[in-house]
A and B are shown apart, each in its own frame.
Chain A
Amino acid sequence: MTELNTIIETCEPFSLELLRQAFLFAIFATIGAFLWAPLLTKFLYKYKITRRAEFDLTLKGDRRKKAGTPIMGGLLIIVTVTVITLLFNWHREYTFVPIGAMVVAALLGATDDLLNIFGKKRRIKKLSHIFKLSKIHKNWYMRLWYKLTIPWAAFRRFVGMFGSHPGKGILVHEKLFFQAIAGAIVAWWIYFKLGAHWHSIWIPFDGQIHIGWLIIPLVMLFVMFTANAVNFADGLDGLAGGSLIASFSGLALISWAEGRPAFTLLNATVVGALLAYTYFNIKPARFQMGDVGSLGLGALLAINAIAINKTMLIPILGFIFYIEIFSVIIQVIGKRLFGKRIFKMAPIHHHFEFRGWSEEKIVMRFWIINAFFVIVGVWMALY
């Protein structure tokens, strides 16, 4: 530990010692995750935390055979990374907030996963209903309440269009609300704790641009957007896990190249845990990531990039996730505004499934595409 602390205090860019430590963390995380994966699987089966066809609208046709697969497999990564970081890489000024925000996002995802299985169906009042109530409710204070909450109700209806399991689990507007809180914590940390250097934003090939407090909404936006983007990609066996390996490897490499030891080790730990997770997640999956993993890791991906001042690289390092989320946004726009499908199905991996590509083909091609863009991102970061 003393040796490690010395590295963290006095690290140079491209330090060989840091690289050695990073590999050690990755190996340790992989072995650690492998060792307790059977326990997790047993736990998930025991408490029937599995995908169930009767609750899951997406489990139809060919996908029906995915019913019965445990979800919340993402716990393997979240717990492994948290424990290893707490024990060996805990630095209040560096890893405290990334791990904290990841855990907050993961808790949100876990709640959603569990409510999707054990929760009851919930209904959202239609906007027209709210309008009506604001005029005809017998109590004046309720009429006033409905009037005041019309913007929130409109927001709730609007974002509800992006929900995948309407009526069960945490609703989209609630999810966004809690993600905004996680994003706000990160933004506060970046703006007030990391120093004036983080009031500027790095622009590829162009140096730094001072944006001051605007960094706060920007950070919130990226954290929320990336968390949801990874969430959308978690639809095929191995897709999110394999793609995240490349993304976090890229971040680890950039952190190492810039001489940021805490983040190099954190990213290396995530890569190690992801390797073990993906081993069990490739088709046919032993377990699936679930929102607990996808929201947590999505948030961490954004935070770790922001923390090394590479915010603008997030869409490149997480290219496939951004493609997935934009395909959903475009599809919703096409459907709601023009009444037409832009893609056969969304997220885009389902579009290719519809076109007859096998699950393995889609997943591996997406891995390759993401890996390519990670290489591009790392190359850009070196300028």
Chain B
Amino acid sequence: MLSKNAQNLINDYISLPFKHAKGVRCPYINNARLKKRGQLRALIGKGTPEEIVEEVEIAAKQYGIELDKLDTKETKEFLIEKNIGIECSGFVIHILREQYLQIRNTDILKEIKIPAKNFFRKIINKLRPAENINVKVLGSDENSEKINDWKNIEPGDMMIMLDTKLGRDHIILITDFKDNTIKYAHARAWSSEGKYGHGVNTGEIKITHPQEGLLKQVWIEKSLAQKDDLFHLEIQNETFAEANNAKTLEIRRLKI
């Protein structure tokens, strides 16, 4: 199991700490698409749950929306309309930071080595590490080591998918491993979930064929889309599809 604080943080992403509505799942945003630079962390998919909630409250005030009158679904839609959410690496970084603070008393944001093209980027990386750590940085040999045997998996390990079919990278955080079941959490958007369905989610991989690789196991993850939104009943597990299509699929552990 992850540490209590790290687990609480995951829960906060799954149900953002709003006063007016419970169960608002933090949506997924991809800053590579939005191309915002030098912005607030919450607006580029790198914010903590508290920062995200604060930004929503400020945006609501600016746009004259009475947040108290919005229900869970409407609140989530407001977040998505205003491009407030979390991306996969931002989510993993914040959880791992909490985890390593708890178990090793180490701030991973100060330890992770971020490549810099020039002196200016070096300073930016020092000042805003969370915003400049992406999947490739976490998956580099400099920052993490590959776990070759899945039996050695530990909570806090990362499943890294590079160059998936969608032309992007993805990262999943392993939260638990026992009874031949790997539990994980990640921030993702499935195409079947439409505009408002996506967000932080959990899933598991049941090890049914111990001699085989991860892709031969049973991947279980529920869709977050409302039933009414679906036009077909059988939904493909897009996380598995993404893993399957990735040019590189590795389990890695931070070298900290």
Contact = CB atoms under 8 A, between A and B. Distances in A.
B40 A60 contact: no
B58 A339 contact: no
A161 B46 CA distance: 21
A337 B131 CA distance: 11
Most buried by A among B40, B44, B65: B40
Given A337-B127, A339-B39, A60 B58 contact: no
A64 B63 CA distance: 9
Given A338-B128, A339-B128, A60 B63 contact: yes
A341 interface: yes
A348 B106 CA distance: 35
B40 A339 contact: yes
B65 A335 contact: no
B41 A60 contact: no
5 contacts: A60-B62, A61-B61, A161-B38, A339-B40, A341-B40
Interface of B: 38-41, 44, 46, 51, 54, 58, 61-65, 127-128, 130-131
Contact of A338 (B44, B64, B127): B127
B65 A345 contact: no
Nearest to A353: B61
Given A336-B38, A339-B40, A61 B127 contact: no
A62 interface: yes
Interface in A24-65: 60-62, 64
The number of chain A residues touching the other chain, given as a range, is: 10 to 19
Contact of A61 (B62, B128, B130, B131): B62
Interface in A313-368: 335-341, 344-345, 354
Contacts of B54: 341, 344
B40 A62 contact: no
B52 to A, nearest CB: 12
A354 to B, nearest CB: 6
Contacts of A341: 40, 54, 58
Contacts of A340: 40-41, 51
A150 to B, nearest CB: 13
Contacts of B39: 335, 339
Nearest to B131: A339
A339 B65 contact: no
Nearest to A57: B62
B58 A335 contact: no
Contacts of B62: 60-61
A161 B38 CA distance: 10
B12 to A, nearest CB: 17
A151 B62 CA distance: 35
Contacts of B58: 341, 344-345, 354
Shortest 3 CB-CB distances between A and B: which pairs?
A61-B64, A339-B41, A336-B38
B102 to A, nearest CB: 22
Contacts of B65: 61
Contacts of A345: 58
Contacts of A64: 64
Nearest to A356: B61
A377 B51 CA distance: 40
Nearest to A61: B64
A336 B40 CA distance: 7
Contacts of B46: 339
B128 A337 contact: yes
Nearest to B124: A337
Contacts of A61: 61-65
Contacts of B38: 161, 335-336
Interface string A146-169: 000000000000000100000000
A356 to B, nearest CB: 10
A338 B132 CA distance: 12
A60 B64 contact: yes
Contacts of B51: 340
A335 B58 CA distance: 14
Nearest to A126: B37
Contacts of B128: 337-339
Contacts of A338: 127-128
Nearest to A335: B40
A360 to B, nearest CB: 18
A287 B130 CA distance: 45
Given A60-B64, A61-B61, A340-B51, 20 more contacts: A60-B62, A60-B63, A61-B63, A61-B64, A64-B64, A161-B38, A335-B39, A335-B40, A337-B127, A337-B128, A338-B127, A338-B128, A339-B39, A339-B46, A339-B128, A339-B130, A341-B40, A344-B54, A344-B58, A354-B58
A341 B51 CA distance: 9
Most buried by A among B44, B58, B61, B63: B61
A60 B82 CA distance: 14
A345 B54 CA distance: 11
A189 B38 CA distance: 41
B64 A62 contact: yes
Contacts of A337: 127-128
B89 to A, nearest CB: 14
A354 B65 CA distance: 13
